[in-house]
Structure 1
Amino acid sequence: MIRGSTRMSEVDTKELDRLLQEAFDTATRLYQERGFQRRVGFGKRPALVSVDLANAWTRPGNPFTCDQEKMDGEIIPGMQKLLTAFRAAGLPVVHVTTAYEITDRSADFTDMGLWHNKIPVDVVDLKDKELWAIDSRIAPVEGEYTLLKKRASSFHGTELAGILRANNVDTILVTGVTACACVRQTICDGIADGFRTIAVRECIGDRVPGAVAWNLFDIDAKFGDVHSVDECVAYIDGLAAQRIAAE
């Protein structure tokens, strides 16, 4: 298990942020000249899709552990705000996690596919529920669904699209980790499957400095809209108010 972490200095982080912002400003001019960065918009019935906010990603000491400062200071508190809003409005919540039943890399047959040849997915063993259980700070409550996936996208080979359509969902608010892989792939597949895709800025993390900023910028240009937690909560609260007024 990984017990330590490598952190960039504050100076390095500020310099990285500055360089990224310069790149974003240049790319924005190009994108807008060519008709990118359009808005997909919020729909009428959203669902919250929370990707891999399970202990192997949210807690320290694992190969998949993400930036703990952002996790504890932004992602978990932001998720708690979103969950409060979704639960009060009676809207669907899907918690997504990842685990494997056959984790022997030398086995003739495994549910890991070929992914274990690139990353250590074999450590997330289905038998060790604590690893793939959703973080207790944002644990599912009765009426919410926990989906087990095997690949990066929450849609690939799962029942997610069917469940959402059966519940008349037209919009997905996506949160979780990592920005460069499972969150991004879920958003890309979400819009491809016909859902309005919203990335919740403060509730998306990664292990690599700069990965969140770059991927959110690129997602906002091509695959979905990026909104803050407060903007998303206001949207949910607005839907709840409309429903009450109509009753």
Structure 2
Amino acid sequence: MTDIRLQPVDDLQPLGASTRNRWSVSATQANLVRPPVVPQPVTIDAGAKLVTFDLARTAIIVVDMQNDFCHPDGWLAHIGVDVTPARAPIAPLQRLLPVLRGLDVPVIWLNWGNRPDRLNLSPALLHVYKPSGTGVGLGDRLPGTGARVLERGSWSASIVEELTVESTDIHVAKYRMSGFQDTELDSILRNLNVTTLLFAGVNADQCVLCTLQDANFLGYDCMLLRDCAATTSPDYCMAATVYNVNQCFGFVLESSVLTAALAGKRAAIAEVNAP
């Protein structure tokens, strides 16, 4: 007969960085059964379909809403790019992020954050932003502010001040257009027990799309928040991005539709928790 003697539950201690993925252990036991996650289904209109997803296993990834991409004194503006489109996601994100936080949805800031020595950047990557070998590219000092372009810890790489960052938010530095390449993003999401990802930020046709595609390839369910994403590329690039996400990689929806659905979810939760 198998000996199934167990210590009292009170003797077991939680082990794991996330409450969503942890063991319970003691000197003589290891309980690998994770705590159950109560589903929180939300149904939204994603255009061609009504989509139901589990809010309890959802996170939002906000990509590159940084000074160098979105601020009038940042890098893109310095090289002659009109950053007005890149600022368009600020207002809808200001409305959406507090609602998501209030429902315990993790907010992940996925930002360029290069090493000071740039040893994690290949010549091929540097060439994209400095094709002639002259001018201001990744890691070079920006005239005026003196900040190094997209270097971790610099003003250039900081999130624009119009977007509030909370202490509970999660930060991931990336060094490629895809936030999954050479980063800890996938490990973090798996520790959070997340299966559905909401995507926002800039540029929609570059870093947002590359990250979303890799997420799809890794098996995550992907939703692009159309009004919370933007690009400084020509309009047809955004149109192609929306088409390809809908066709191949997930769903596209407006944040106002999501916010309305979440308001209903919050009301339902409040009713359940009412004395």
Equivalent residue number for residue 238 of structure 2: 212
Identity across the alignment (%): 23
Indicate whether 1:229 and 2:255 are aligned.
yes
User: Of the candidates 43, 47, 52, which is equivalent to residue 59 of structure 2?
Assistant: 47
Equivalent residue number for residue 111 of structure 1: 120
What is the distance in 2 between the residues matched to 1:225 and 1:92?
20
Structure 1 residues 143, 136: CA separation in 2 closer, same or farther (over 3 Å shift)? same
Verify the 8 A CA contact 1:140 1:146 in the aligned structure 2: no
Q: Which structure has the larger Rg?
A: 2
1:37-78 CA-to-partner distances (Å, cap 9, x unmatched) read: 986944212111000001111112434356533344x31001
Q: How does 1:138-157 map to 2 (within 5 A)?
A: 138-157=163-182
Of 225-234 and 235-244, the range deviating more from structure 2: 235-244
Equivalent residue number for residue 133 of structure 2: none
Equivalent residue number for residue 121 of structure 1: 138
Verify the 8 A CA contact 1:40 1:197 in the aligned structure 2: no
Deviation for aligned residue 1:153: 1.0
Looking at secondary structure, tell me which structure has more strand per residue. Answer: 2
Structure 1 residues 193, 60: CA separation in 2 closer, same or farther (over 3 Å shift)? same
Structure 1 residues 158, 39: CA separation in 2 closer, same or farther (over 3 Å shift)? farther
What is the distance in 1 between the residues matched to 2:231 and 2:252?
16
Number of matched residues?
A: 205
Higher relative CO (CA 8 A, sep ≥ 6), structure 1 or 2? 1
Deviation for aligned residue 1:242: 4.6
What is the distance in 2 between the residues matched to 1:159 and 1:238?
34
Looking at secondary structure, tell me which structure has more helix per residue. Answer: 1
What is the distance in 1 between the residues matched to 2:239 and 2:164?
27
TM-score, structure 1 length as denominator?
0.74
What is the distance in 1 between the residues matched to 2:169 and 2:210?
22
User: Of the candidates 135, 147, 158, which is equivalent to residue 133 of structure 1?
Assistant: 158
1:64-121 CA-to-partner distances (Å, cap 9, x unmatched) read: 356533344x3100111111211221210001110222456xxxxx111230012233
Indicate whether 1:182 and 2:192 are aligned.
no
Q: How does 1:8-87 map to 2 (within 5 A)?
A: 41-44=51-54, 45-65=57-77, 67-72=82-87, 74-87=88-101
Code of the residue aligned with 2:65 in structure 1: it is L
Deviation for aligned residue 1:156: 1.4
Structure 1 residues 99, 223: CA separation in 2 closer, same or farther (over 3 Å shift)? same
Verify the 8 A CA contact 2:86 2:203 in the aligned structure 1: no
Deviation for aligned residue 1:125: 4.7
Verify the 8 A CA contact 1:94 1:146 in the aligned structure 2: yes
Code of the residue aligned with 1:111 in structure 2: it is N
Verify the 8 A CA contact 1:198 1:226 in the aligned structure 2: yes
Q: Secondary structure at the match of 1:121?
A: coil
Verify the 8 A CA contact 2:69 2:83 in the aligned structure 1: no
* RMSD (CA atoms): 2.4
Q: Which runs of 5+ in 2 are unaligned?
A: 1-46, 130-136, 141-148
Equivalent residue number for residue 13 of structure 1: none
What is the distance in 2 between the residues matched to 1:184 and 1:166?
23
Q: Secondary structure at the match of 1:153?
A: coil
Structure 1 residues 169, 246: CA separation in 2 closer, same or farther (over 3 Å shift)? farther
Equivalent residue number for residue 37 of structure 2: none
Of 80-89 and 63-72, the range deviating more from structure 2: 63-72
Verify the 8 A CA contact 2:68 2:150 in the aligned structure 1: no
Code of the residue aligned with 2:96 in structure 1: it is L
